């Protein structure tokens, strides 16, 4: 028989180092980081992957306002709108019952829904106004609500110190208000709605 090697013990890292290593492997990105990535993917038109990121956010924080907004955009952009319009034409039902996926997503951001922020995000009203193409009065209400919220935001920013970034934000808010007002004018002027 041959001689066997003596067993040597490998040095194990101290328990604190091992625990730290496990934490690093299991740490998840922050909700803000996931939302930022989802927003980037929406800008890149990769809606399927953006939807997966938003699902992660809403799994961790079901009432996250920005996550719900991005989810609604993803649902709209993945082609569900065209399919919903075709179903609505065939069944002649109320638009809100047909637009369930994204209509409900945006409605969940408005009071009196539990978890709805106060004030609600103006984007929810703007998207709902665009989705209310069969109900011009509802579209006008959503446009008006968005304009009111955005105007209040501008008034709040007037008191704050003006920086380059706040100036850009104010300009974008003003442009959004103008677009919402133009949307209202287009609805009022459309002869198909006969609102006069």
Residue boundaries of the structural domains of the chain: 29-115, 119-196
Q: What is the pLDDT of residue 120?
A: 86
Split at pLDDT 50, 70, 90, the class of 6 is: low
What's the average model confidence in pLDDT over 140-153?
92
Q: What is the pLDDT of residue 191?
A: 83
Split at pLDDT 50, 70, 90, the class of 124 is: confident
pTM: 0.63
Q: Would you say the C-alpha torsion 181, 185, 188, 190 has a positive or negative sign?
A: negative
The H-or-E segment that residue 48 falls in is helix 47-60
Q: What is the pLDDT of residue 97?
A: 41
Q: To 10 degrees, the CA torsion angle through 123, 118, 97, 105?
A: 60
Class of domain 119-196: mainly alpha
With b meaning 16 or more CB within 10 Å and e meaning fewer, what string describes 70-82?
Answer: bbbbbbbbeeebe
Q: What is the pLDDT of residue 35?
A: 92
Q: What is the pLDDT of residue 99?
A: 43
Q: How many CA atoms lie within 13 A of 40 on its CB side?
A: 7
156, pLDDT greater than 90: no
Instruction: State whether CATH 2.60.40 applies to domain 29-115.
Output: no
């Amino acid at each position: 028989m041959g001689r066997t090697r003596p067993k040597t013990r490998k040095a194990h890292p101290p328990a604190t180092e091992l625990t730290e290593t496990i934490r690093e492997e299991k740490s998840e990105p922050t909700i803000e980081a996931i939302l930022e990535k989802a927003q980037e993917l929406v800008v890149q038109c990769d809606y399927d992957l953006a939807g997966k990121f938003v699902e992660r956010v809403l799994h961790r924080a079901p009432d996250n306002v920005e996550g719900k907004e991005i989810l609604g955009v993803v649902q709209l952009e993945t082609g569900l709108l065209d399919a919903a319009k075709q179903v609505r034409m065939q069944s002649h039902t109320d638009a809100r019952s047909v637009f369930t996926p994204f209509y409900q997503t945006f409605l969940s951001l408005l009071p009196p829904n539990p978890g709805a922020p106060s004030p609600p995000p103006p984007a929810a009203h703007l998207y709902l106004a665009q989705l209310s193409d069969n109900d011009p009065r509802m579209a006008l209400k959503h446009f008006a609500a968005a304009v009111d919220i955005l105007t209040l935001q501008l008034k709040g920013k007037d008191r704050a110190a003006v920086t380059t970034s706040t100036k850009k934000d104010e300009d974008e808010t003003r442009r959004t208000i103008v677009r919402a007002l133009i949307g209202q004018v287009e609805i009022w002027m459309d002869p198909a709605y006969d609102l006069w």
